[in-house]
Amino acid sequence: MPQPAPLYVPPNPEPDENIRHSLFGEILDWMLAPLLLLWPMSIAITYLVAKSIANQPFDDALEDRVTVLSQQIRTVSGKPVVQLPGSAHDVLRADDVDSVYFQISGPAGLHLDGDRDLPRPRTGSDDDQARGGAVSFRNDSIHGTPVRVAYSYVNLDPLREPGKGAEPELALVQVAETLDKRAHLANEIIKGVILPQFIILPVILALVWFALSRGLSPLAELQERIRARPQDDLSPIDPRQVPEEISPLVGSFNDMLERLAQTVEMQKRFIADAAHQMKTPLAGMRMQSELALRQVDPGEIHRSLEQLATSSESATRLVNQLLALARAENQPHAGLAFEEIDLAQLARATVQDWVQASFAARIDLGFELPDAPPDALAEEPLHIAGNALMLRELLSNLIDNALRYTPPNGSVTVRVRRDGEQALLEVEDTGPGIAPAERAHVFERFYRILGTNVQGSGLGLAIVREIAQQHGAEIDIFNNPRSHSKKFPGSLFRLTFPPPVQEPIDAD
């Protein structure tokens, strides 16, 4: 029975933080968002200001009417009387838009004239001000219709000063009108202010768009200049040709170009050196193979094949070291998977891999640890931060170098010890040693000390230096302090590793 086809599962969407955003769009959003937010706020503020402006002239007219009515109140035989002609009522209510109401009341709420339904003012600061003879204003309603009311109190006994003796008798004068004219005037003011904004706003948006396009045009020009460059052009960009704001970015980009140029140059030099070094073993292999083909004597053929095997071994070792050096140089510190490593355990395991080679060369290969305290049950681990594979490669090259230069019946010792918080890895031999003038050059690729007849590629110590630098280790070369031979003073390679970074402990 055929199996059903698996369902297609779409890939997970890319997280929002990895999505590229347009710089033009970001700036435009941050400029327009506050603008569009402030625009309705501006309309609301304009409306409040318009209402205040519209109220003022109509309040002045109400105040004049209250003043005129207050002057028509007289006291006759101890009673308040309103001397208001009949035609005055028509003048007070003469309004084509709003309805006008007025009311004159004597002491104790005695109605003297006007509309009885007009509500009396509430007690408060404005009411106290009106009792002092000033005209006050309030918003109220009559028959469910909102009105604006101006009112004042008239002292019926002007000879009696307020605050002395009994309270004076006061008459209340109120004039109210509906709000239609005020609303109409406020709307006209708002229209006069808001309508131009509808014309100005698109103009502002167009100017912002144009300004952003002009402001970001240097970025587009820089992009075109970079794209127009040849593929092998790694020269820095002139920071004087870019705006000041992106000069730091251009400076960082130039630094990256410089590092890239150095890397490319190093790779070119590496390929050229590797090709040059590969010529010798390959030429030897070809010569030995051609010689073997021309030989008839089995002994000569066997001897040629042995030489061919030796050349093949040298070529294989050279290729392996080239690959190791390329791998070390192309793994920067950030690319290495560092972990906590017991340096003593790693060194012991690496030394064991070279025991057979030391037996074949008749060299005593040893491994030493620092003396443990008498009360210690086991050796104390010596931890460093590093990459185990690369560190084994480093130590293998040091041991191989020592075995090659140490004569038979000599000794090579690998030692691990602690110096304060730092870990030390030492490889010492009883070979011919390295002169102080040569010590700065032995770490260069394909460098060979003159006068030595040891077969090698000159890459081992270059690999050691590269891996040591990636681990932040310092490497020094000394004479072997335990060697007493003038002909074979020996060498001591010492690597000093920094202590591993301690992770902060969470208090919780």
Q: In which band, very low, low, confident or very high, does the pLDDT at 326 lie, cut at 50, 70 and 90?
A: low
Q: Which residues contact 254 (CB under 8 A, 6 or more apart)?
A: 236, 237, 239
Q: Confidence class of residue 9 from pLDDT cuts 50, 70 and 90? A: very low
pLDDT digits (tens, 9 = 90+) for 180-233: 888 888 888 777 777 777 788 788 888 888 887 887 788 888 878 888 888 878
CB atoms within 10 A of CB 467: 29
Q: What is the mean pLDDT of residues 397-409?
A: 90
3-state secondary structure 155-172: ECCCCCCCCCCCCCCEEE
Higher pLDDT, 196 or 318: 196
pLDDT exceeds cutoff 50 at 348: yes
Q: Which amino acid is at 133?
A: G
pLDDT over 90 at 68, yes or no: no
Q: What is the pLDDT of residue 137?
A: 87
pLDDT value for 267: 74
Q: Quick one: pLDDT at residue 47?
A: 78
Closest CA to 395 of 360, 433, 351, 363: 351
Which range is least confidently modeled, 183-187, 281-285, 341-345? 281-285
Q: So what's the pLDDT on residue 204?
A: 81
* 135 against 165, higher pLDDT: 135
Averaged over 19-42, what is the pLDDT? Answer: 74
pLDDT over 90 percentage in the chain: 11
Cα 115 to Cα 175: distance, rounded to the nearest angstrom: 10
User: Is the Cα torsion angle 302, 304, 305, 307 positive or negative in sign?
Assistant: positive
Residue range 423-454, pLDDT digits in tens: 999 999 998 888 888 888 888 876 666 545 55
Task: For the chain, give the mean pLDDT.
Answer: 78
SS3 at position 251: helix
Measured CA to CA in angstroms, residue 54 lies from 142, 179, 258, 369 at distances of 21, 10, 71, 98
Highest mean pLDDT among 186-200, 318-332, 403-417: 403-417
Residues with Cβ within 8 Å of residue 422, at least 6 apart in sequence: 496, 497, 498, 499
> Is the CB of residue 226 less than 8 Å from the CB of residue 78?
no
| Band of pLDDT at residue 132, cut at 50, 70 and 90 | low
3 state SS for 60-102 = HHHHHHHHHHHCCEEEECCEEEECCCHHHHHHHCCCCCCCEEE
Would you state the pLDDT for residue 21?
62
What is the C-alpha to C-alpha distance for residues 175 and 148, in angstroms, rounded to an integer? 8
354 or 310, higher pLDDT: 354
Rg value, the chain, Cα: 51
Q: How far apart are alpha carbons 458 and 447 in whole angstroms? A: 5
**Residues 356 and 311 sit within 8 Å (Cβ to Cβ):** no
In DSSP terms, which residues pair with 100 in a beta bridge?
177
Residue identified by tokens 């140490």 is 406
CA–CA distance, 464 with 398 (Å, rounded to integer): 7
Higher confidence at residue 110 or residue 1? 110
Q: Are 399 and 351 in contact (CB under 8 A)?
A: yes
Query: How many CB atoms are located within 10 Å of the residue 162 CB?
Result: 12
- What local confidence, expressed as pLDDT, does residue 474 receive? 92
124, 135, 149: which is closest to 70 by C-alpha?
A: 135
Element (H, E) at 273: helix 247-294
What is the three-class DSSP state of 304?
helix
**Rounded-to-integer distance, Cα 260 and Cα 255, Å:** 9
Q: How many residues does the chain have?
A: 508
> Cα angle at 304 between 299 and 309, to 5 degrees?
125
For residue 427, the model assigns a pLDDT of: 94
In the prediction, which pLDDT does 347 show?
93
